[in-house]
């Protein structure tokens, strides 16, 4: 079937930083990072419905409806991604208008790359729908201009991320495991977190080729860390409460904050263990956003 006439959908999975080291700072002020990134089964969904009308975005879902219509304008990262892709599409592409529907189930400004994952999903989705034939490197360069987390989200697979997010390399082979995500409902400003961070830098992590078990992985990750967790707890004290609640769950192997917060995650031996913990946390804290399951 011709993709230019199909209704197509892409998933925008939550991006999780299993560890995040700030290793330096460039002269232009951007911080250099070293992180192991995975993607959870939780995520937003982006659908494209081709049509004759100018391309536009509609927001729905638990968090999309609270953002309001203004959030769907040209400054939305999804629309910026569409415009950027159009600019490199070439004469052979079938660029057209229509409707993009973003079902937003991930919390906003929460450290799990929701907006970046949405932009990356738009690149993948519209490249397919418009039959854009350009090198992968071109798409990744385009993604880099949209935001530091967008390149890894375009690939949407486990990777080591360095530089300001543009340097991606192979990650260790991960064992089977489960994950719980929790957000307290308070948005956290990334610039505020970096301003609270002390000036110390941390070395690039040494990682094995693979981990044999979830416990082995958790043991290694426990020796690493998230350099933004402590300052995020100052900016948003409920993060400490979330981390404590996660660590207190049966079979929890590791509890940590992702990105610049406020979403925290916990690793479990299996997806079923994670789902049980998520159910318990949701019952104890009904105002929190809680998800549990397998990695994507």
Residue ranges of domains in the chain, CATH in brackets: 3-169 (3.30.230.10), 178-294 (3.30.70.890)
Half-sphere exposure of 176 (CA within 13 A, CB side): 5
How does pLDDT run along the chain (296 residues), one tens digit per residue?
A: 676 689 999 999 999 999 999 999 999 999 999 999 999 999 999 999 999 999 999 999 999 988 877 899 999 999 999 999 999 999 899 999 999 999 999 999 899 999 999 999 999 999 999 999 999 999 999 999 999 999 999 999 999 999 999 999 999 999 999 999 999 999 999 999 999 999 899 999 999 999 999 999 999 999 999 999 999 999 999 999 999 999 999 999 999 999 999 999 999 999 999 999 999 999 999 999 999 999 99
Annotated catalytic residue within 44, 118, 149, 220: 149
Nearest 5 degrees, angle CA 112-CA 273-CA 255? 45
Annotated catalytic residue within 15, 80, 104, 276: 15
Active site residue 273: no
**So what's the pLDDT on residue 67?**
83
**So what's the pLDDT on residue 171?**
98
- Looking up tokens 């990650």, which residue turns up? 171
Q: Please state the pTM of the whole predicted model.
A: 0.96
Binding residues for ATP: 107-117
97 closest CA partner among 45, 49, 142, 47:
49
Furthest C-alpha separation in the chain: 57
pLDDT in tens, 148-172: 999 999 999 999 999 999 999 999 9
d(CA 108, CA 114): 7
- Looking up tokens 């071109």, which residue turns up? 138
Active site residue 15: yes
**Mean of the per-residue pLDDT values of the chain:** 96
d(CA 226, CA 233): 12
Binding residues: 107-117
d(CA 207, CA 69): 44
- Looking up tokens 């949407």, which residue turns up? 156
């Amino acid at each position: 079937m011709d993709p230019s006439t199909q209704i197509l959908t892409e998933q925008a999975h939550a991006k999780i930083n299993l560890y995040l080291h700030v290793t330096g700072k460039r002269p232009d002020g951007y911080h250099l990072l070293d992180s192991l990134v995975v993607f959870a089964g939780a995520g937003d969904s982006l659908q494209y419905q081709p049509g004759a009308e100018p391309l536009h975005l509609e927001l729905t879902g638990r968090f999309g409806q609270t953002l309001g219509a203004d959030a769907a304008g040209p400054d939305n990262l999804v629309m910026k991604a569409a415009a950027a892709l159009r600019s490199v599409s070439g004469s052979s592409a079938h660029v057209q208008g229509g409707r993009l529907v973003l079902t937003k189930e991930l919390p906003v400004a929460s450290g799990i790359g929701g907006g970046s994952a949405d932009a990356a999903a738009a690149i993948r989705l519209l490249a397919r729908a418009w039959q854009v034939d350009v090198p992968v490197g071109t798409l990744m360069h385009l993604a880099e201009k949209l935001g530091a987390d967008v390149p890894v989200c375009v690939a949407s697979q486990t990777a080591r991320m360095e530089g300001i997010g543009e340097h991606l390399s192979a990650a260790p082979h991960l064992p089977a495991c489960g994950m719980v995500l929790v957000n307290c409902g308070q948005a956290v400003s990334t610039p505020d977190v970096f301003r609270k961070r002390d000036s110390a830098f941390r070395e690039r992590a040494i990682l094995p080729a693979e981990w044999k078990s979830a416990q082995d992985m958790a043991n290694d990750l426990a020796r690493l860390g998230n350099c933004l967790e402590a300052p995020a707890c100052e900016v948003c004290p409920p993060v400490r409460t979330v981390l404590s609640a996660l660590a207190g769950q049966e079979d929890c192997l590791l509890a940590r904050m992702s990105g610049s917060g406020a979403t925290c995650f916990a690793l479990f031996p299996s997806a079923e263990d994670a789902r049980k913990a998520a159910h318990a946390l949701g019952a104890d804290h009904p105002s929190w956003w809680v998800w549990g399951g397998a990695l994507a």
